[in-house]
């Protein structure tokens, strides 16, 4: 059984099933198509499926050409019918793993997706989970459910965990060139996992277990979260001392060893860094371990939107205006520059906090023309991007889109609160936050 699936993967004749065609699943599907594999995409969102089957891309940085070419060649199909999963030789789960309202792991997307395919699971398939999660998820949640079908993991079905490492909008790295960590539940599973990814990724990094692979992704993003919290804390301290944190970072970055630059901002955004650390803190409590360092970093980072609102009130006060009833334009809704991904964007929290205090807010984002429904900020759904014009009392730069370089801060005739060190420092016009 193992040799059969490995041979089909190595010959690139295996049908690859991608479950979840979002910011992780779609680039992975395109990479398999590029390498010559046939691909079956499965997603619960009929709108996504319809766009893909029409040869369209719904993600800004992903081109339509490879989708259209694969459709024309008959090597790609996207469906919402999960009974088709039995046709695939490999099933790769690329679904969200958010936090619930108590900031505890929400594995519902993973579990529901697996439950959808279980009736159609068959001997000779490999199941890979790429969604970020706590150590133990693959063997504690996926394996028992698979084996309830009568299939034995490591003999009939091969189970692996390989964390996604996508960085949307990064021109220096792509799905093929980012090394792929892979752990298998058994040595046989790992062999199949290496064959699954070895033909499409330049470097596969095997580890001893699925738990080790799960821990790798958490360590990577906790490292970033902690260091971002550090510079956010330093920013607030240096601001009191009338020191520009961005000037300090630029100078410190000239040291060729022992230093890595991280940058402060209005808070954390995206589908990884604001969420992943809490997966480990939750799991650690099961072992009576208190992850104080991680939790402190989380507290600092989640407090940054409150700091921005405080600075907004201070800047308005300098201009003899109150925060209440002030018209405020927020520049940038995406969580990072040059992407259309607004998940967990700190701009949402800033907008909400400002409106609670009576401000009138609008946003501008060239990549997010309209706010889509979300679990936490559904009340903002339907709002449209506003033009950058006069008539505001304050502008807050939240996302450093390059398009905003075209703006003339002085020409706007309104104070600008810059949370990214983006604009030149102009006294009486540009303020840091």
Q: Is 272 a catalytic residue?
A: yes
Catalytic residue, chosen from 94, 189, 272, 398, is 272
Distance set, CA 146 to CA 11, 116, 211, 301 (Å): 27, 12, 17, 38
The span from the CA of 213 to the CA of 411, in Å, is 51
Instruction: Give the angle subtended at the CA of 190 by the CAs of 185 and 196, to the nearest 5°.
Output: 125
Note every long-range contact of 353-359, with CB atoms under 8 Å and residues 24 or more positions apart, other chains counting. 353/305, 353/306, 353/309, 354/309, 354/312, 354/323, 354/328, 357/309, 357/313, 357/323, 357/324, 358/323, 358/324, 358/325, 359/312, 359/323, 359/324, 359/325, 359/326, 359/327, 359/328
Q: Render 242-272 in DSSP notation, one character per residue.
A: T--HHHHHHHHTT-SSS-------SS--SSS
Alpha helices, DSSP H only, in 148-241?
Answer: 187-198, 210-240
Q: Closest by alpha carbon to 342, among 110, 45, 55, 59?
A: 59
Buried b or exposed e, range 249-275, using 16+ CB within 10 angstroms: beeeeeeeeeeeebebbbbbbbbbbbb
Question: Is there a contact between 221 and 292 (Cβ–Cβ < 8 Å)?
Answer: no
As separate numbers, helices (DSSP H) first and strands (DSSP E) second, the chain gives 13, 13
For residue 17, the tally of other CB atoms under 10 A from its CB is 28
DSSP bridge pairs for 207: 183
Angle at 258 between CA 252 and CA 260, to 5 degrees: 55
Q: Which helix (H) or strand (E) holds 355?
A: helix 346-356
Q: What is the CA radius of gyration of the chain?
A: 23
Question: How does strand 158-161 pair with strand 180-184?
Answer: antiparallel
Nearest to 267 by CA among 330, 359, 338, 340: 330
Active site residue ranges: 272
């Amino acid at each position: 059984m193992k040799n059969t699936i490995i041979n089909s993967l190595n010959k690139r004749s295996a049908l690859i099933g991608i479950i979840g065609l979002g910011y992780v699943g779609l680039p992975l599907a395109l990479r398999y198509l590029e390498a010559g594999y046939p691909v079956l995409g499965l997603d619960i969102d009929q709108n996504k499926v319809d766009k893909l089957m029409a040869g369209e891309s719904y993600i800004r940085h992903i081109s339509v050409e490879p989708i259209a070419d694969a459709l024309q060649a008959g090597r790609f199909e996207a469906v919402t019918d999960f009974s088709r999963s039995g046709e695939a030789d490999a099933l790769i789960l690329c679904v969200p793993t958010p936090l619930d309202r108590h900031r505890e792991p929400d594995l519902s997307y993973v579990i529901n997706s697996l439950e959808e395919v279980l009736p159609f699971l068959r001997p000779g398939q490999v199941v890979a989970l790429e969604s970020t999660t706590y150590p133990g998820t693959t063997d504690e949640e996926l394996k028992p459910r698979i084996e309830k079908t009568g299939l034995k993991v490591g003999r009939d079905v091969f189970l692996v965990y390989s964390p996604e490492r996508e960085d949307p909008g990064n021109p220096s790295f792509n799905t093929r060139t980012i090394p792929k960590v892979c752990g298998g539940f058994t040595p046989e599973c790992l062999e199949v996992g290496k064959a699954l990814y070895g033909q499409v990724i330049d470097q596969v990094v095997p580890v001893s277990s699925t738990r080790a692979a799960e821990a790798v992704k958490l360590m990577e993003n906790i490292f970033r979260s902690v260091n971002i919290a550090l510079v956010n804390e330093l920013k607030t301290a240096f601001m009191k001392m009338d020191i520009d944190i961005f000037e300090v970072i630029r100078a410190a970055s000239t040291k060729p060893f022992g230093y890595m630059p991280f940058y402060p901002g209005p808070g954390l955004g995206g589908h990884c860094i604001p969420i992943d650390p809490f997966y480990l803190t939750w799991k650690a409590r099961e072992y009576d371990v208190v992850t104080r360092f991680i939790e402190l970093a989380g507290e600092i980072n989640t407090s940054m939107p409150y700091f921005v609102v405080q600075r907004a009130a201070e800047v308005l006060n300098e201009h003899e205006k109150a925060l209440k009833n002030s018209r405020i334009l927020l520049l940038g809704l995406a969580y990072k520059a040059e992407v259309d991904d607004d998940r967990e964007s700190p701009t949402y929290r800033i907008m909400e906090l400002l409106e609670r205090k009576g401000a009138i807010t609008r946003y501008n984002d060239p990549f997010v023309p309209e706010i889509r429904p979300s679990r936490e900020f559904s009340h903002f759904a339907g709002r449209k991007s506003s033009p950058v014009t006069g008539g505001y009392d304050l502008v807050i730069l939240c996302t450093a889109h390059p398009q905003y370089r075209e703006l003339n801060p002085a020409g706007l005739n309104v104070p600008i609160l810059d949370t990214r060190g983006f604009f030149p420092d102009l006294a009486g016009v540009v303020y840091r936050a």
